[in-house]
Amino acid sequence: MQIFKIREMKRIQHIITAAAFIAISFSACKKDALDKQPTDASSGATYWKTETNAVQAVNNVYRYLGDFWDRVFLSGATDDSFAWSNWPSDIIYVGNGTANSSTGVFGHYWNNFYTMIGAANNVLDNIDKVSGMSDEMKKRLIGESRFLRAYAYQQLIGMYGDVPLVTHVQPVTEFMVTRTPRAQVADFIVKELDTIANYLPVSYGTADAGRATRGAALSLKARTYLYEGDWANAATAAQAVITLGQYTIDGDYLSLFNGTNKNSSEIILSGRYLANTYANGTATWVGGPSVGGWSEITPVQSLVDEYECTDGNTIATSPLYNASKPFDNRDPRLKLTIVVPGSVVNGITIDVTAPNSIDGLGKNNGSFTGYYYKKYIPTVISGSYDNNSSNDIVLLRYAEVLLNYAEAKVESGAIDQSVYDAINKVRQRPGVNMPPVTAATAATQTALRAIIRRERRVEFPLEDNRLFDIRRWKIAETVMPGNVYGILNNYNTDRADYGAHVLVEKRSFSTTRDYLWAIPQNELDLNKNLTQNPGW
């Protein structure tokens, strides 16, 4: 009688059981069923344990050094170069005075350097948690991090003036920072560098080439003092680098920038790159159509004119200067740095004056100035359009230390033979061999100042120095505004500018505004405690 019912019951029970099992297994008091952890990254809470952790976190800070999209564009904000397009960098607006507080490059550098500072602070706040690391190693890693942070601040004060000084990873309550006076930040930088110089080794083994050295710390210190006008300390710090004996002037100027001489004894600090896996886009940005580039940043006539003739005189005074052959008898660095008509780059002849030249004026992606940079074109161009170069971006080199030394001494009035020696080491680099500057040719502070300023300009195009130099020398207001010219058009009768220099751009410069960049508008909109620089 009952059997059928029970059989039916069996099914019911099966299902109820199954349902109950499913229900229970969901919760199952498997304690941490819901506690899912990332599978390819380590939790921040448990990260800081081993020396490897510390080393890899420090490696990360270096990633912001080279800044591969934008670094070479800094020159576009100076009287050296013209940036014709607003992509990938809109530095063109900074150069011609039409920038506003939302202009992209202002945010770009600000973000890049504060990210670098954040990464360094993260190491410094946490490295004590790591156990089993030698004291020496720990000091080195702290030294590297503090050096990189100091480097970021040196760049920031040069660009923006007063900037927030952030020296630890901030709790939320401290997000709304205020700006610290530039002098205080500079003071912080040199004190940091003083402290860590001895934490850092004088040199590394091959595997670690590229890390911050004692020389880099001392060089940065010298630069910081010089940029802030502390001549005596600048000279002392530069002297310390010279005394270190680690660095020499390289015999091959161009090789420092074309990827073939990355470990030159002249290079003190560089942003490092590697073909295929960690490449940058220099060839695309700097190269012209003939080398598959976009001529994004090109030299202007004023830079070309700055190079002396081989007799050591300027083109205005030298008998060797021939206006119809303006590129002959010039400081060899002119043709090492700049493509003039007929220059050969990586085996390709570039002559903008040739009829139908694809590099010519008015050609798509061609230079508006008629000149191209040769410096920084890598010898190997391989990869996609914005990732085809593996040359390093040079950030600190011995030539700068020597010229910093000379300038500091000259400005402090302590002119002695060491000043001439320093300048001449740079001028008389093998392959350059310009006539020496001597007490006979330049005896006074004024004469030497002019020589050093010219020497810096022709030695450092496309490096960051010019931007900071025209600011601290307060010459931006004279060199920046007005018409910017390119090559002399004495070859294309079709053009309206035949017989004259190509007019590239008209620039304006506000003395009350443009010595400092705008604090990025997005930053001001987020942090009401920040104040804007005057005029923006």
Partner 1 sequence: MYKKFIVNYCRPSGYIKKFLLVMKLTTVLIFAVLLQVSAAGFAQRINFSQKNASLKQVFKEINKQTGYNVFWSPGLFKNAKAKNLNFVNTPLNEVLDICLKDTQLTYLLDEKNLIIKEKPPVAASQQSVVKGKITDENGLGIPGAGVIVKGTTTGTSSDANGNYSIGVPASGGTLVFTFIGYAAQEIAINNRKQIDVGLKPDVKALSEVVVVAYGTQKKANLTGAISSIKGDELSSKAVGQVSSALQGVASGVTVTQSNGQPGSDMGTIRIRGIGTLNNNNPLVLVDGVQTDANNVDANDIASMSVLKDAAASSIYGVRAANGVVLITTKRGAADKTSISYSNYFGWQNPTRLSEYVGAQKFMTLANLMYTNSGAGAVYSESQIAQYDNPNRDLNLYPDNYWLDKVLTGNGFQQQHSVAVAGGNEKNQYRFSTNYFDQSGLVKNMDYDRLTVRLNTDSKISSKLDFSADISANISDQKEPQGVAGSAWYQFSQAAIANPLSVDKYTDGTWATLRGGQNPVRLQEEGGLYNYKKNLFIGNFKLTYKVIDGLTISAIASDNYQSTNNSIHNKALNDYVNYFTKAPIPLGTTNNITKERIDYWMQNYQALVNYKKDFGKHHFNLLGGASRLSESYDYLSAYRNNISDSDLDEINSGSASTSTNSGYSTEYLLLSYFGRLNYSYDDKYLFEANIRRDGSSRFPKGSNWGWFPSFSAGWNVAKEDFMKNVTGIQELKIRGSWGKLGNDNPLANGSSATLNYPYQSTFSYNNNYPFGGALNTAASQSMYTNGGLGWETTTMSDIGLDVSILNNKLKFTFDYYNKKTDQILYKLDIPATVGFEPSYQNAGSMENKGFEFSVNYSGSIGDDFKYNIGGNISDVKNKITDLKGTDYLSTDANMIVTGYMTGVPIGAYYGYQTEGIFQSAAQVSSHAVQTENTAAGDLIYKDQNGDGVINASDRVYLGSNIPRYTYGFTLGASYKGFDFSALLQGVAKVDINVLPIEKAPLSTDGNFKSLQEDSWTPTNTGAAYPRLITSNLNYLSSSFWVKSGAYLRVKNVQVGYTIKPSVVSKIGLSKLRIYASGQNLFTFSSLSSDIDPESPNDNRYYPQVKTLTVGLNANF
For the CB of residue 34, give the shortest distance to partner 1 in the complex, in Å. 5
- What does the CA dihedral 205, 207, 209, 210 come to, rounded to 10 degrees? -140
For the CB of residue 505, give the shortest distance to partner 1 in the complex, in Å. 5
Q: Tell me how many residues contact partner 1 (CB under 8 A).
A: 150
For the CB of residue 516, give the shortest distance to partner 1 in the complex, in Å. 15
Binding to partner 1 (CB under 8 A) within 191-230 occurs at: 204-211
Cβ proximity to partner 1: between 217 and 419 the closer is 217
Cβ proximity to partner 1: between 176 and 439 the closer is 176
Cβ proximity to partner 1: between 24 and 439 the closer is 24
Cβ proximity to partner 1: between 224 and 388 the closer is 388
Q: Please, which residues have CB within 8 angstroms of residue 134's CB and are 6 or more apart in sequence?
A: none
Cβ proximity to partner 1: between 328 and 497 the closer is 497
Binding to partner 1 (CB under 8 A) within 67-86 occurs at: 84-86
For the CB of residue 75, give the shortest distance to partner 1 in the complex, in Å. 18
Element housing 298 (H / E): strand 297-299
Cβ proximity to partner 1: between 34 and 440 the closer is 34
Residue 72 and residue 493: Cα distance in Å, rounded? Answer: 34
Binding to partner 1 (CB under 8 A) within 320-359 occurs at: 346, 348-349, 354, 356-358
Examine residue 22 and tell whether it contacts partner 1 (CB under 8 A): yes
Q: Which one-letter DSSP state was computed for residue 152? A: H
Q: Three-class SS of residue 297?
A: strand
Residue 278 and residue 276: Cα distance in Å, rounded? Answer: 6
Q: Three-class SS of residue 302?
A: helix
- What does the CA dihedral 467, 468, 474, 477 come to, rounded to 10 degrees? 20
Q: Three-class SS of residue 496?
A: coil
Examine residue 1 and tell whether it contacts partner 1 (CB under 8 A): yes
Element housing 339 (H / E): strand 338-339
Out of 115, 236, 314, 490, name the contact with partner 1 by CB under 8 A. Answer: 115
Crossing angle (nearest 10°) for helices 445-459 and 398-411: 160
Q: Please, which residues have CB within 8 angstroms of residue 227's CB and are 6 or more apart in sequence?
A: 154, 158, 186, 468, 472
Cβ proximity to partner 1: between 161 and 293 the closer is 293
CA 305-307-311 angle, to 5 degrees, is: 120
Beta carbons of 68 and 280 less than 8 angstroms apart: yes
For the CB of residue 421, give the shortest distance to partner 1 in the complex, in Å. 33
CA 403-195-221 angle, to 5 degrees, is: 15
Examine residue 512 and tell whether it contacts partner 1 (CB under 8 A): no
For the CB of residue 381, give the shortest distance to partner 1 in the complex, in Å. 4
Q: Please, which residues have CB within 8 angstroms of residue 487's CB and are 6 or more apart in sequence?
A: 301, 341, 352, 361, 369, 370, 371, 501, 502
Examine residue 18 and tell whether it contacts partner 1 (CB under 8 A): yes
What Å distances lie between residue 226 and 7, 77, 102, 234, 426, CA to CA? Answer: 96, 21, 31, 5, 18
Considering only the stretches 111-119, 129-137, 306-314, 409-417, report the one whose residues sit in contact with partner 1 under the rule CB under 8 A.
Answer: 111-119
Q: What are the φ/ψ torsions at residue 405 (nearest 5 degrees)?
A: -60, -50
Query: For residue 88, which of 295, 280, 285 has the smallest C-alpha distance?
Result: 285
Out of 202, 232, 274, 443, name the contact with partner 1 by CB under 8 A. Answer: 274
Cβ proximity to partner 1: between 172 and 440 the closer is 172
Enter the tokens of residue 217: 């710390």
Binding to partner 1 (CB under 8 A) within 42-71 occurs at: 42-44, 47, 53, 56-57, 59-60, 62-63
Cβ proximity to partner 1: between 10 and 474 the closer is 10
What Å distances lie between residue 147 and 19, 188, 189, 231, CA to CA? Answer: 63, 11, 9, 22
Examine residue 158 and tell whether it contacts partner 1 (CB under 8 A): no
Considering only the stretches 232-240, 303-311, 364-372, 405-413, report the one whose residues sit in contact with partner 1 under the rule CB under 8 A.
Answer: 364-372
User: Residue 482's beta-bridge partner residues?
Assistant: 507
For the CB of residue 420, give the shortest distance to partner 1 in the complex, in Å. 37
Considering only the stretches 117-125, 132-140, 401-409, 437-445, report the one whose residues sit in contact with partner 1 under the rule CB under 8 A.
Answer: 117-125
Cβ proximity to partner 1: between 360 and 461 the closer is 360
Binding to partner 1 (CB under 8 A) within 23-42 occurs at: 23-27, 29-42
CA 460-461-466 angle, to 5 degrees, is: 75
Examine residue 96 and tell whether it contacts partner 1 (CB under 8 A): yes
Rg of the chain, C-alpha, whole Å: 29
Cβ proximity to partner 1: between 204 and 473 the closer is 204
Cβ proximity to partner 1: between 349 and 418 the closer is 349
Out of 322, 382, 444, 478, name the contact with partner 1 by CB under 8 A. Answer: 382
Examine residue 189 and tell whether it contacts partner 1 (CB under 8 A): no
Considering only the stretches 192-200, 213-221, 427-435, 490-498, report the one whose residues sit in contact with partner 1 under the rule CB under 8 A.
Answer: 490-498
For the CB of residue 383, give the shortest distance to partner 1 in the complex, in Å. 6
DSSP character string of 446-476: HHHHHHHHHHHHHH-TTSTHHHHHHHHTT-H
Cβ proximity to partner 1: between 302 and 418 the closer is 302
Examine residue 371 and tell whether it contacts partner 1 (CB under 8 A): no
Maximal CA-CA distance, the chain: 130
Examine residue 496 and tell whether it contacts partner 1 (CB under 8 A): yes
Binding to partner 1 (CB under 8 A) within 454-483 occurs at: 483
Examine residue 443 and tell whether it contacts partner 1 (CB under 8 A): no
Examine residue 417 and tell whether it contacts partner 1 (CB under 8 A): no
Crossing angle (nearest 10°) for helices 135-160 and 214-227: 20
